[in-house]
Amino acid sequence: MDARVTSRSHVPLGLIPTPFQSRLEALSRAKAWVNWAGYVSPAVLDTVEFEYFAIRNQATLYDITPMHKYRITGPDAEAMLNRLVTRDLRKVRPGRVAYVLWCDEDGKLVDDGTLFRLGAQDFRLCCQEPMAGWLADAAWGFEVSVEDESHRVAGLALQGPTSFAALEAAGLGVGTLRPFDLAEVEPGLHISRTGFTGDLGYELWTGWGKAAALWDRLWAAGQGRGLRAIGFEAMNIARIEAGFIAARTDFQPSNTAMRLGRGRSPVELGLSRMVDFTKGHFNGRRALLSQDPQYHLVRLDVGGFKPADGALIYHRRKKEVGHVTSGVWSPTAKRNIALAELRAPFGARVTGDLWAEIYVNAEGRWDRRLVPVTIQSEPFFKNDRARATPPGLF
Partner 1 sequence: MERFDALVIGAGHNGLAAAAALGARGKSVCVLEKSGVVGGMAAEGRLAHLVYNLSEGEKRRLGVNLAEVDTVSLSPDGAHAVVRRGAAGFADGRAYPDAAAYGALHARLVRFAGVLAHLAEAPPLGLDGGLASFASLREIARLGKVGLGLKRLGKVEMREFLRVILSNAYDTILDELPDGPLAGALASDAVRGAWAGPRSPGTVFSLIYRLGHGGAVYRPEGGMGALAEAYAAAARGKGCEIRLNAPVARVLVEEDRACGVELADGARIAAQAVLSSAGPLQTMLLAGVAHFDIEATRRARNMRAKGSAAKLNFALSGRPVFTGLSEAQHHARLLVAPSAAAVERAFNPAKYGELPKSPVLEMVLDGTRFSVIASHVPTEPQGGWTRAARDQLEKVVVQAIEAHAPGFAGLVTGCEVLTPADIADLTGAPGGHWHHAEMGLDQVLTLRPIAGNARYALAVQGLYLCGASAHPGGDVTGLPGRNSAAQLLADGVL
Q: Cβ 184 to partner 1, closest distance in Å? A: 30
Q: Is 4 exposed, middle or buried (0-12, 13-18, 19+ CB in 10 A)?
A: middle
| 137 touches partner 1 (CB under 8 A) | yes
142-161 residues near partner 1, rule: CB under 8 A: 142
For partner 1, the closer of residues 85 and 340 by Cβ is 85
Site stretch for partner 1 (CB under 8 A), options 29-37, 79-87, 168-176, 356-364? 79-87
> What is the DSSP secondary structure assignment for residue 86, as one 8-state letter?
S
* From 139-147, 206-214, 297-305, 355-363, span contacting partner 1 (CB under 8 A): 139-147
Stretch that binds partner 1, among 10-18, 123-131, 240-248, 277-285 (CB under 8 A): 277-285
Of 153, 154, 196, 189, the C-alpha closest to 170 is 189
Nearer to partner 1, 225 or 264 (CB): 264
- Please list, in sequence order, all residues whose beta carbon lies within 8 angstroms of the beta carbon of residue 355, skipping any fewer than 6 positions away: 313, 314, 315, 316, 317, 370, 371, 372, 373
140 is an interface residue for partner 1 by CB under 8 A: yes
Residue-wise burial string across 176-203, b where 16 or more C-beta atoms lie within 10 A, e elsewhere: ebebbbbbeeeeeebbbbbbbbbbbbbb
Cα of 128 vs its chain's centroid, Å: 8
In the bound complex, what is the minimum distance in angstroms from residue 73's beta carbon to partner 1?
Answer: 18
Residue 91 as a binder of partner 1 (CB under 8 A): the answer is: no
Strand partners, 36: 39
Q: Rounded to the nearest whole angstrom, what is the least distance from the CB of residue 322 to partner 1 in the complex?
A: 25
Q: Is the dihedral of CA 355, 243, 199, 252 positive or negative?
A: positive
Determine if 79 is a binding residue for partner 1 (CB under 8 A): yes
- Minimum distance from CB of 25 to partner 1 (Å)? 41
Return the beta strands (E) in 208-362 as ranges.
227-229, 295-302, 312-315, 319-330, 335-343, 354-362
Give the residue with the Cβ less far from partner 1, 108 or 190: 108
CA-wise closest residue to 336 among 199, 245, 241, 194? 241
CB of 186 within 8 A of CB of 229? no
Q: Is 118 in the site for partner 1 (CB under 8 A)?
A: no
Smallest gap from Cβ 259 to partner 1, in A, equals 18
Binding residues for substrate are 203
Is 281 a residue that touches partner 1 (CB under 8 A)?
yes
User: Could you give phi then psi for residue 84, rounded to 5 degrees?
Assistant: -75, -50
End-to-end C-alpha distance for the chain, whole angstroms: 36
**Position among 65, 194, 283, 330 found at the interface with partner 1 (CB under 8 A):** 283
The yes or no reply on residue 254 touching partner 1 (CB under 8 A) is no
Q: In the complex with partner 1, which residue's Cβ is closer, 284 or 303?
A: 284
Does residue number 75 form part of the binding site for partner 1 (CB under 8 A)? no
81 is a contact residue toward partner 1 (CB under 8 A): no
- Identity of the residue numbered 379: P
Distance CA 390, CA 377 (A): 28
The residue from 84, 172, 328, 373 that contacts partner 1 (CB under 8 A) is 84
Residue 284 interacting with partner 1 (CB under 8 A):
yes
Separation CA 194–CA 124 (nearest Å): 14
Non-local CB neighbours of 10 within 8 Å, separated by 6+ positions: none
106 DSSP 8-state letter: T
Number of residues that bind partner 1 (CB under 8 A): 19
Binding mask 49-68 for partner 1 (x = CB under 8 A): --------------------
Q: To the nearest whole angstrom, how small is the minimum distance from the Cβ of residue 144 to partner 1? A: 12
Q: How far is the CB of 124 from partner 1 (least distance, A)?
A: 20
| Footprint of partner 1 (CB under 8 A) | 79-80, 82-84, 104-105, 134, 137-138, 140-142, 280-281, 283-286
